[in-house]
Structure 1
Amino acid sequence: MNWAEAGFEVLGTRVLWTDLVGNVAALATVLLAIRKSIWTWPVQLTASVLLLVASVNAHITGNALKQLMFGTLAVYGWWRWTRGTQDGRELAVRPATARERLGLVGVMLAGTAVIGVIFFVTGLSWGAHAPLPEGYLLVAADAYIFVGSAVATWAQGRALVDFWLIWIAVDLVGVPLAFSSGLVVSGAVYGVFSVLVLVGFFNWLQEYRSRTVLVLKEAT
């Protein structure tokens, strides 16, 4: 047995180390992001690699593609945050502008439509194999989560407070979808993730407001 297949049994269920450690690392990235730690990116990259291996090993192509996307965006975010913290500077977070928000929403809508068609035609989404018309809704939800995750991670790389809101919008679909599909553990993990996301949003927003007030005081 190679390392990608290494694991252990829990109540008759095979648990792969790559899947377990990858998900723990993915959850850790949220905690690190709340603290604006640059370590959130290498940890996310590690999680993506481990979950990619787990997905390929389980022959889940759609999830493997998602991990490739996360890994690529983790490199981008790492580069952006490194630039933003050069010379000992603290990472400056800010809300997105009206134009940026319009762009984020537009990409999510258009991206969901395009990716949804690709997922359905290629069968990459598990929903493509479900009876119609339910299959259409499942594929759309799968595509929405895929695109929303990409947009949120990209916005995080640019230190936009709004990235937390995008994750909340993704979880509003992801959590009930997981529970309705019988994935109770995944639904519970997404639920914890949602709580951490709310904490992160308020922390980043409070920091931005405090910094803005300080700048205004210094200007006067």
Structure 2
Amino acid sequence: MNWLNDNAFAVLGQQFKWNDVLGNLLGLAALALGWRRSVLSWPVQLLSGLVLISANLSAHLAGGTGKQVVVIAASIWGWTRWQRGLRQDGDIRIRFAGWTERGLLVLGTAVATTVVALVFQHWNLSWSPWADAYIFVGTMAAMVAQARGWVEFWFAWIAVDVVGVPLAFNSGLPFSGTVYLVYFVLVLLGLRSWWLRTRIATPTTPTLQGAPV
């Protein structure tokens, strides 16, 4: 699989690697499937994480690499939660998190970001430890929210994108930076879709697994 580290093409002097391109295209597909509340979002996200590990290793981004490991683990957990929801309710239950849940999510993200950034800084694991740690922990928080069916999942992704775009470009991963911009558009559309979904009662009769309502 060494070809994943090869350059795929160049645009305006910027070299795009295969692992950066393919991994992020799979990530886009996973986000779009999440927007549609399809359980296929999770295995596609897992595959994206596997490919993007090599991209982040080549860019010396420990946080990015660790993030993809978390993405893989969270994908397995999210798949099982959504499958259980489909069996019990016939659909993926979407809701806003309670204030206590939001507080714990924000507090946990802040504390974990600080701890991870200090670890990266101490062991020289990243050239941008605080931004790298923020993206690492923020992605974990977003996937936890997604697995639980919280609308706040989309707000977490917006927060990650704000830092992810400049970090990717400055790390020599221009395709990742470009895809983060596309993510932002999909996130806004997904946020609207899930927000509207909270106004619709969950059906009591089973639907096809992964099929949008």
Interval containing the TM-score (normalised by the shorter chain) = 0.7 to 0.9
Relative to the length of structure 2, the TM-score reads 0.83
Q: State whether structure 2 residue 161 is matched by structure 1 residue 171.
A: yes
Pick one of 133, 137, 152 that aligns with 1:147.
137
Structure 2 SS opposite 1:37: coil
In the TM superposition, 1:180-199 aligns within 5 A as: 185-199=175-189
The one-character-per-residue Cα deviations of 1:74-114 (angstroms, maximum 9, x if unpaired) are 11111111111116701111110111001001111111111
Across the aligned residues of Structure 1 and Structure 2, the Cα RMSD in angstroms comes to: 2.7
Relative to the length of structure 1, the TM-score reads 0.81
**Cα 1:93–1:45 shift into 2, 3 Å:** same
Alpha-carbon distance, 1:53 to partner: 3.2
1:163 aligned partner, one-letter code: F
Query: After alignment, is 139-148 or 12-21 more displaced?
Result: 12-21
Whole-angstrom CA distance in 2 between matches of 1:88 and 1:211: 11
5+ residue gaps in structure 2? 205-213
Tell me how many residue pairs correspond in the alignment: 203
In the TM superposition, 1:1-220 aligns within 5 A as: 2-5=2-5, 8-10=8-10, 15-56=16-57, 60-86=61-87, 89-127=90-128, 139-178=129-168, 185-211=175-201
**Cα 1:198–1:5 shift into 2, 3 Å:** closer
State the structure with more CA Rg.
Answer: 1
Structure 2 SS opposite 1:81: helix
Bigger relative contact order, structure 1 or 2 (CA pairs below 8 A, ≥6 apart): 2
Identity over aligned residues, as a percent? 42
The one-character-per-residue Cα deviations of 1:148-180 (angstroms, maximum 9, x if unpaired) are 111001110111111111111222233344467
5+ residue gaps in structure 1? 128-138, 216-220
Whole-angstrom CA distance in 1 between matches of 2:100 and 2:88: 30
C-alpha contact (below 8 Å) 1:4/1:57 kept by paired residues: no
Structure 2 SS opposite 1:112: helix
C-alpha contact (below 8 Å) 1:42/1:78 kept by paired residues: yes
Alpha-carbon distance, 1:210 to partner: 2.5
Alpha-carbon distance, 1:146 to partner: 1.2
